[in-house]
Amino acid sequence: MLDLHGALRKSGRDGTAARRRFTVTAIVSDSERKMKTTTGYSTLQILLHWAVALGVVFNYIVSEGMGRALDQQIQSQPVTVSIASLHVWIGVAVLVLALLRIALRLALGGPAAQPGLLGKVSSATHGLLYLLILLVPALGAVAWFGGIDAVAEPHAVLANLLVILAGLHALAGIYHGVVLKDGVLGRMFRPA
């Protein structure tokens, strides 16, 4: 679709910079073309979206005392914080489900972003949410199973960022459903 050679010919003396620019554009447009565009999500994609969302919110609420639990774990003392194993295993489940979600998204694709700046903001938010649902439990697991205290704080800080971003994302979803009534909210409830 891109006339790469024509563009480079036209660029004349500035050929090297143009080649670099057009090559990057070609790579981006190529990866976009490879991602399948659908009218909505499969039943499994929808179930995974809500299971991950529930797991994230649950673990955010059930996290008090985890700092103390980690200290006990690192010092090989008995862990006396009652919610610790719940937080750890729900978090591990989120990590596994998130990996499955991302694999499914790559295999099945999803709806195209809306055109314009809002579409770009929405795609960027979704990308960041995908990154955080991997990174937050992964850092937690490194802290807990690896006994590495240095990643405990990044884990807790990024968990806050994840919940804030998910809150804004949920508000955007509700705005679509209540104000715009454009079917976007329904996409996460009814399989395509």
Q: Which stretch binds ligand HEM (CB under 6 A): 6-14, 15-23, 29-37, 166-174?
A: 166-174
Task: Build a one-symbol-per-residue string for 5-44: x at contacts with ligand HEM by CB under 6 A, - elsewhere.
Answer: ----------------------------------------
Binding-site size for ligand HEM (CB under 6 A) equals 45
Task: Build a one-symbol-per-residue string for 37-76: x at contacts with ligand HEM by CB under 6 A, - elsewhere.
Answer: ------------x--xx-xx--xx--xx-xx--x------
φ and ψ of 114, to 5 deg: -70, 150
Query: Per the structure block, which two tokens stand in for 82?
Result: 């009652």
What CA–CA distance (Å, rounded) separates 38 from 98? 20
CB of residue 29 to ligand HEM, shortest distance in Å: 19
Residue pair 152/171 in contact by the 8 Å Cβ criterion: no
What CA–CA distance (Å, rounded) separates 26 from 123? 19
Task: Build a one-symbol-per-residue string for 102-131: x at contacts with ligand HEM by CB under 6 A, - elsewhere.
Answer: ---x----xx--------------x--xx-
| Helix, strand, coil fractions of the chain, as percent rounded to 5 | 80, 0, 20
Residue pair 26/7 in contact by the 8 Å Cβ criterion: no
Residue pair 98/133 in contact by the 8 Å Cβ criterion: yes
Our finding on whether 81 is near ligand HEM (CB under 6 A) is: no
Residue pair 68/74 in contact by the 8 Å Cβ criterion: no
Positions in the binding site for ligand HEM (CB under 6 A):
49, 52-53, 55-56, 59-60, 63-64, 66-67, 70, 87-88, 91-92, 94-95, 105, 110-111, 126, 129-130, 133, 136-137, 140-141, 143-144, 152-153, 155-156, 159, 166, 169-170, 173-174, 184-185, 187-188
